[in-house]
Structure 1
Amino acid sequence: MKKAVAIGLGVISAAWLGACGDGGWGNQNVPPPPAPAPTPVTDAQGFYSGMDSGNDSVTSVVLDSGTYYFIWANSITGSFGVVQGTATAAGGQFNSTNAKNYLLGTSTVVNSTISAVYTAKSNLAGTITPASGTVGYTSFSGTYSTVYEQTPNLANIAGTYQGAAGSLNAVDASASVTLSASGALVGSGSSGCRFSGTAKPHANGNVYDLTVTFGGTPCVDAGQSVTGVLLVNNGKLIATGTLADRSDAFLLVGTAQ
């Protein structure tokens, strides 16, 4: 995960209308509609914490759907970023062909693939390979955290968090967000960009589905919204998401005040 400048799965329901006329078909029995396809559930889901070959700390979030967010940060340089995509994960093999490595503050996103192995509720390790060139190439490993198995509770994590935030084209070295017990959040960065949104418990795991909408100027993605995830552990918050077309990503990391 290359150093950067310092700083939804929708459930589609269909309405079925069936009718039998009085003509040539007679009063036939209308077959029932097919059952909706189940939401994919992977045993790779969870939180993993570890390091990559660039000496960045890495927090990996793998959802039950296979969508993942790998958040990396370097405590020495102050740089951070996120790798996002969807993976097929089964039988100990974790693979993704649509990874995007967002190098925050550099105006660069690197299309990548991920090849990894995992043991359910134990570890995840692999390699991120750029589609071309060498920028963003890294190996990583992480250990599973049982924090993922706790019951999410917005009231327990409500409060104000102070840290840093960034997107591809801008980094706020100082940013804050306040999260209410109802899941409403408001925040701002040192650039003057303001944003608001909501967080609600995800269907599985101690993680929250996140939507953030940016205000006007000077926000880089003014008026646009990102969707992603929010998680809090031991007073540390991570909020991250991407625009619908995945052309940009947002990441905020903070500590409870």
Structure 2
Amino acid sequence: MKSCIAGIATTVLASALLAGCGAGIEELWKPDTVVKTSAVQGGYTGKLSDDRDITMLVLEDDQFYSVYGSLTNGSFAPKGFMHASGKASNGSFTASDLKDFATDGIAYLGSLNASYAAGANLNGTVVEGSSTITFTSTVIKSSQYNYGTAASTAGINGNWTLTDLQGVAVNLQIGLDGAITASSAASSGGCAFSGTVTPRASGKNVFDLALTFGAAPCRFANQTLKGIAIDYLAANGKRQLLLAATDSARNNGVAYGGLR
């Protein structure tokens, strides 16, 4: 599968997380120092028009992340994610710099055109080249995820078993200080990496994420990728953790997901 949309041609997406309004790449990587009030900000869950599941997040500065994949027995396995610098205005949410990081982790350029009802739903269309896909979503129930409360590492510290975009198992440990140590399964080469999760300065229920990969066989050997992480209560009563990050040029990305 080449991209979220290109995949429709061969097998006719799942969760979302979100990007920054009018900012350059360097700005997207900086923690927010000013709390903004985007009308569309929040966490959303829904479906793509090819019936894949999505979890989406729009941040206070209109950054857009959308993780897509498969939802099985309440567990969400990411197969790709989208990131963009959006702009919300009078019920319209648009972005011309959308990047879609599919199973291979390589970015595909697209655009986003959506409509929203504040605090209720976000529905729209993603165009990549000659391919188009639509999505519908509603705000995640507050009993599962409260975007308005501050994130805390107390709820996510400890061990997690996650999978990456290729379905490779990753053992990840988060300390109370937000420090991350992780390694992928030995069968895939055993890439070791580290990083941090830091509660977002806006006070919303989102973590700023940084991951630094070790030497080969890591695909992104000796590189640091940055993005976001969230956790929420899955339908089966377990906690779901999702992480998504890109390199500084947004040419490559990684995502991980799992339950405990």
> Which TM-score band applies after superposition, normalised by the shorter structure?
0.7 to 0.9
SS at 1:74's partner residue?
strand
Specify the code of the residue in structure 1 equivalent to 2:125: T
Specify the code of the residue in structure 2 equivalent to 1:242: T
Q: Measured at CA, do residues 70 and 206 of structure 1 come closer, stay the same or move farther in structure 2, by a change above 3 Å? A: same
2:240 corresponding residue in structure 1: 236
Residue of 45, 69, 91 corresponding to 1:73:
69
1:47 corresponding residue in structure 2: 43
What is the deviation of 1:68? 1.1
Structure 1 residue runs of 4 or more that deviate by more than 4 Å after TM superposition: none
CA distance in 1 between counterparts of 2:163 and 2:118 reads 32
Q: RMSD over aligned Cα, in angstroms?
A: 2.2
Q: Tell me how many residue pairs correspond in the alignment.
A: 221
1:178 corresponding residue in structure 2: 173
CA distance in 2 between counterparts of 1:250 and 1:11 reads 20
Asked if the contact 2:31–2:200 (Cα under 8 Å) also holds between the matched residues in 1, the reply is: no
Q: Measured at CA, do residues 220 and 128 of structure 1 come closer, stay the same or move farther in structure 2, by a change above 3 Å? A: same
Asked if the contact 1:40–1:66 (Cα under 8 Å) also holds between the matched residues in 2, the reply is: no
Specify the code of the residue in structure 1 equivalent to 2:52: D
Asked if the contact 1:100–1:112 (Cα under 8 Å) also holds between the matched residues in 2, the reply is: yes
SS at 2:164's partner residue?
strand
What is the deviation of 1:103? 1.3
CA distance in 2 between counterparts of 1:43 and 1:251 reads 26
What TM-score do the two structures reach when normalised by structure 2?
0.79
Could you say which structure has the greater relative contact order, defined with CA pairs below 8 angstroms and 6 or more residues apart? 2
Unaligned residue ranges in structure 2 (runs of 5+): 12-27, 234-238
1:125 corresponding residue in structure 2: 123
Asked if the contact 1:62–1:69 (Cα under 8 Å) also holds between the matched residues in 2, the reply is: yes
Specify the code of the residue in structure 1 equivalent to 2:259: T
2:139 corresponding residue in structure 1: 144
Bigger mean CA deviation after superposition, 205-214 or 172-181: 172-181
Specify the code of the residue in structure 2 equivalent to 1:54: D
1:227 corresponding residue in structure 2: 226
SS at 1:155's partner residue?
helix
Asked if the contact 1:175–1:187 (Cα under 8 Å) also holds between the matched residues in 2, the reply is: yes
Bigger mean CA deviation after superposition, 49-58 or 150-159: 150-159
Asked if the contact 1:44–1:90 (Cα under 8 Å) also holds between the matched residues in 2, the reply is: no
Cα distance per residue 1:64-96 (max 9 Å; x no partner) = 1111110001247x6610011110012211000
What is the deviation of 1:9? 4.4
What is the deviation of 1:155? 1.1
What is the deviation of 1:149? 1.8
Asked if the contact 1:209–1:229 (Cα under 8 Å) also holds between the matched residues in 2, the reply is: yes
1:19 corresponding residue in structure 2: none
1:95 corresponding residue in structure 2: 94
Unaligned residue ranges in structure 1 (runs of 5+): 14-37
CA distance in 2 between counterparts of 1:51 and 1:40 reads 28
Asked if the contact 1:69–1:82 (Cα under 8 Å) also holds between the matched residues in 2, the reply is: yes
What is the deviation of 1:151? 2.8
Asked if the contact 2:107–2:253 (Cα under 8 Å) also holds between the matched residues in 1, the reply is: no
The reply to whether residue 187 of structure 1 matches residue 187 of structure 2 is no
The reply to whether residue 104 of structure 1 matches residue 108 of structure 2 is no
CA distance in 2 between counterparts of 1:98 and 1:90 reads 17
Structure possessing the higher radius of gyration over alpha carbons: 1
Cα distance per residue 1:36-63 (max 9 Å; x no partner) = xx56531111100011111111000111
Specify the code of the residue in structure 2 equivalent to 1:115: N
Asked if the contact 1:206–1:231 (Cα under 8 Å) also holds between the matched residues in 2, the reply is: yes
CA distance in 1 between counterparts of 2:54 and 2:157 reads 24
CA distance in 1 between counterparts of 2:122 and 2:98 reads 16
Q: Measured at CA, do residues 209 and 108 of structure 1 come closer, stay the same or move farther in structure 2, by a change above 3 Å? A: closer
CA distance in 1 between counterparts of 2:197 and 2:162 reads 18
What TM-score do the two structures reach when normalised by structure 1?
0.80
Specify the code of the residue in structure 2 equivalent to 1:219: C
Q: Measured at CA, do residues 12 and 140 of structure 1 come closer, stay the same or move farther in structure 2, by a change above 3 Å? A: closer
What is the deviation of 1:243? 0.3
What is the deviation of 1:139? 0.5
